[in-house]
Structure 1
Amino acid sequence: MLQTLQRSRTPSGAAYLDKGRGDETVVLIHGVGMRIEAWSPQIERLAEEFRVIAVDLPGHGFSAPLGAPPELKNFVGWFETLLNELELGPVNVAGHSMGALIATGIVATAPDKVKRVALLNGVHRRTEKARAAVEARADEIVTGNFDREAPLSRWFSDKETKSEAYGLVHELLATVDADGYAAAYRAFATGDAVYSDSWPDVQCPALFLTGDGDLNSTPDMAREMAAAAPRGRAVIISGHRHMVNLTAPVQVNDVLRQWLTSGGDA
């Protein structure tokens, strides 16, 4: 059963968790259909050494709806507002999946607010075939008549279907607000190339991590972004797929800890 973590709210209605303390602050942004609890292993471990702030996306968890057209730039603007309201910056920003697109947008448009950036299972310049498939899924979701369990077979291997991580993600997908899910998925489906040309101009340390079995946020995408960023580094976790932060938490936590303590591009 889902254990809800304690949250606060910003004046604009964004729900967030603030835990731990330290010289570094890391802000965690989850993916479509998830909420703060999808970062539970990272929150628990990283808060031992750092200040950890995790946020619910608009229309997810306990955050208010976006209140703007479902475009990536508006989610990025929402995130910048949150940083301003919490008087944060420069901070370390780590995003997973849709959160990775938002992290890309904030470092591209407000680099003064970002000390380091990390993309976990980030998508980058989909092929035409992949883009058509994800946009078709977005069209289906907006009708309200869609299969909430469809992503599970892509995100987890058959041997993981009995795992605690699978159970958590299954529950989050089953309970996410349909309108919030549809808005975020539309921005996710159309946002993979919005800021894709920005990496050569990103001067902060940039980490790109994914699983070698992730067919949508592929190792090649991670390597391409890392090669374009002056201080980019790609990390590929063997034997894992899209929810690598939950299925390989020890490995991911070790990489994130190194990112936060070594300059990020070591």
Structure 2
Amino acid sequence: MSSLERIVFGTTADTNADADATTHSTSALLRQGGRPGSPTVLLVHPANLRARCWRTVLAALPADWRCVAVDLSGHGASPRRAGYGPARWVSECVALLDALDVARVHVVGASVGAAVAVELAAAHPDRVASVTTVGGAFRAAEPADTREFLAAIAEVGVRQAVLDVLADEPGLDEALFAAVAADISVNPDDTAAAIWTAAAAAAGLDAAPRVRCPTLAIVGDGDRGCPVADSRAFADLTGGRLAVLVGHGHLPMYTAPARVAAYIASLVDGTRPHQPRRDPERAVNP
């Protein structure tokens, strides 16, 4: 795989009635494509993880593709900001595309990153060529579940709270569990709570009817937080495809990176004016 480089770019300013505008920076990992005209893929991580959660998927995507994985504000190497949520994160993604002079992009988003991808496609249809979701956050979380996770953050901190949720995640062996642990974005409790509150309210299905590009919803059959039914609803609303990964849970970018990459490639190639690659073996949709 071509090497990843860390880039930093300016994003839209925060303003309020009592303060001057402040320009913020956002960080991303960039892999330059090897051929002019090859597609650009933007990858958006789940809440409380970071851009590098996509590293094994990136390694399996075609080497000539230009790929960029963003650290949303409050995650990874991007600084904390006042206020979080899909609308803010969409604006950061648009700023990234502008900074890289990318006119049109294939967007891949996992969990709340999927909600960001859907909102991006709905708000900027001229900029998005396709959307792939991975364990997409298509409905707001139950209030009781949100309260329980916020209480866990207050009690043990965000890192341990996330790990406790993933303790029996399907397909996540000891080595992969350690990889996820290393990728968690550790923030002060108030920041972690603000990010999770915003993520829990994300409902990608709300924007789905306004998506006009090809779509693909990838989901593990063991995903408890973002179940198969929600991804199926998104696929139905957008006229897209559904790929169910049997034996996997909420994080197939860790547990099945080659299959995730193959599905992404099949969608991207299907939108391009040449003979697409043969689709990867389809899982049976329950």
What's the TM-score once normalised by structure 1's chain length? Answer: 0.85
For residues 83-232 of structure 1, the aligned pairs below 5 Å read 83-126=97-140, 130-137=141-148, 139-140=150-151, 143=154, 146=157, 148-152=159-163, 154-155=165-166, 157=168, 160=171, 162-173=173-184, 176-178=186-188, 180-192=191-203, 195-230=204-239, 232=240
What's the TM-score once normalised by structure 2's chain length? Answer: 0.80
Aligned AA (1:241): G
Q: Which has the higher helix share?
A: 1
Counterpart of 1:7 in structure 2 is 6
For 1:72 and 1:197, the matched residues in 2 are separated by 12
8 Å CA contact 1:27, 1:55 repeated in 2:
yes
8 Å CA contact 1:76, 1:106 repeated in 2:
yes
For 1:246 and 1:88, the matched residues in 2 are separated by 28
CA change 1:240–1:142 in 2 (3 A) is closer
Q: Tell me the number of residue pairs that the alignment of Structure 1 and Structure 2 aligns.
A: 255
For 2:262 and 2:147, the matched residues in 1 are separated by 37
Pairwise CA distance, 1:215: 0.9
For residues 34-113 of structure 1, the aligned pairs below 5 Å read 34-65=49-80, 67-113=81-127
- Percentage of identical aligned residues: 28
After superposition, the C-alpha distances for 1:44-65 in whole angstroms (9 at most, x for unaligned) are: 1225131111111112111122
Pairwise CA distance, 1:155: 3.8
Q: Does 1:263 align with 2:277?
A: no
Provide the secondary structure at the position in 2 that maps to 1:14.
Answer: strand
CA change 1:225–1:43 in 2 (3 A) is same
CA change 1:198–1:87 in 2 (3 A) is same
For 1:158 and 1:229, the matched residues in 2 are separated by 29
Q: Does 1:19 align with 2:31?
A: yes
Provide the secondary structure at the position in 1 that maps to 2:114.
Answer: helix
Provide the secondary structure at the position in 2 that maps to 1:16.
Answer: strand
Superposition RMSD in Å: 2.6
Counterpart of 2:14 in structure 1 is none
For 1:134 and 1:74, the matched residues in 2 are separated by 24
After superposition, the C-alpha distances for 1:136-179 in whole angstroms (9 at most, x for unaligned) are: 14643775854533333544646756432211111223x52235
After superposition, the C-alpha distances for 1:23-70 in whole angstroms (9 at most, x for unaligned) are: 1000011111111211011111225131111111112111122x3422
For 2:251 and 2:167, the matched residues in 1 are separated by 7
Q: Structure 1: 5+ residue runs without aligned partners? A: none
Q: Which of structure 1's runs of 4+ aligned residues deviate more than 6 A?
A: none
Pairwise CA distance, 1:197: 3.1
Pairwise CA distance, 1:101: 1.2
Pairwise CA distance, 1:212: 0.2
8 Å CA contact 2:40, 2:67 repeated in 1:
yes
For 1:159 and 1:31, the matched residues in 2 are separated by 17
2:247 to 231, 234, 239: 239
Structure whose CA Rg is larger: 2
For 2:187 and 2:158, the matched residues in 1 are separated by 14
